[in-house]
Amino acid sequence: EGADTLRGMAGNDRLFGGGGADTLDGGTGADVMAGGLGDDIYIVDTLGDSVDETDGDGVDLVTSSITFTLADGLENLTLTGTSGVHGNGNAGANALTGNSAGNILSGFDGDDLLQGLGGNDQLLGGAGQDRLVGGTGSDRLTGGTGDDVFVFVTGQGNDTVVDFDFDAAGGQDLLDVSGCGITAANFGAQVLISQVGVNTVITIGTQTITLTGVNATTIDHSDFGF
């Protein structure tokens, strides 16, 4: 019932945790892992690996070096390694984190947190009120339905927001630029909003945020979070 570490070998293993915060690593082979109660950690590295959890059995984390989709009952996914693998959430509130490569992270339903980290990532929030953090690289961010927050930090690169919703009557997305040193007081001096073709381009220092298909005249300080 304590915090156990279970490791499989080269075959197709079946690992079952107990009531504690367990770590399950199937090793090579197509493994079946079930942590049970507690906040468990699963290490996935083979396409045939499966992770079985029940809703309410704790807040669990899957670390995966391959493309992986969270089954129901799982909360969080972190991609490992240096390959451009992808991560998919489920109907719950998930935290999906990429690796140093270009990943595609899809939250689907629920109020999700998506963090791209390194590489040129694609983040897809799906339904729910999501928080999207591209990380370093030039990322492509799609919030989906719901009031989403797009987070930007100094040095992240030139990002694109595909579906920014600026109309409060139909839902209100926000651009969180507090990590770029922007405040309500210095907004006018530090943030340049321009029309480039059919898009709005926001320039902060040496980095840009492109809002696809948005007219610059519709964007003002109320669309930003500080």
Task: Give mean pLDDT, residues 188-217.
Answer: 98
pLDDT at 46: 94
pLDDT in tens, 153-192: 998 889 999 999 987 665 699 999 999 999 999 999 999 9
**What is the reported pLDDT for 128?**
96
More confident site: 170 or 7: 7
What percent of the chain clears pLDDT 90, i.e. is strictly above it? 86
pLDDT, position 105: 99
pTM metric for this prediction: 0.94
Residue-averaged pLDDT of the chain: 95
Find the Cα–Cα–Cα–Cα dihedral 170, 175, 178, 183, rounded to 10°: -70
User: What residue spans define the domains of the chain?
Assistant: 1-39+47-58, 60-220
Per-residue pLDDT at 90: 97
The pLDDT value given to residue 223: 96
Exposure of 142 by Cβ count < 10 A (0-12 exposed, 13-18 middle, 19+ buried)?
buried
C-alpha 118/C-alpha 92 separation (Å) is 25
Angle at 222 between CA 121 and CA 190, to 5 degrees: 70
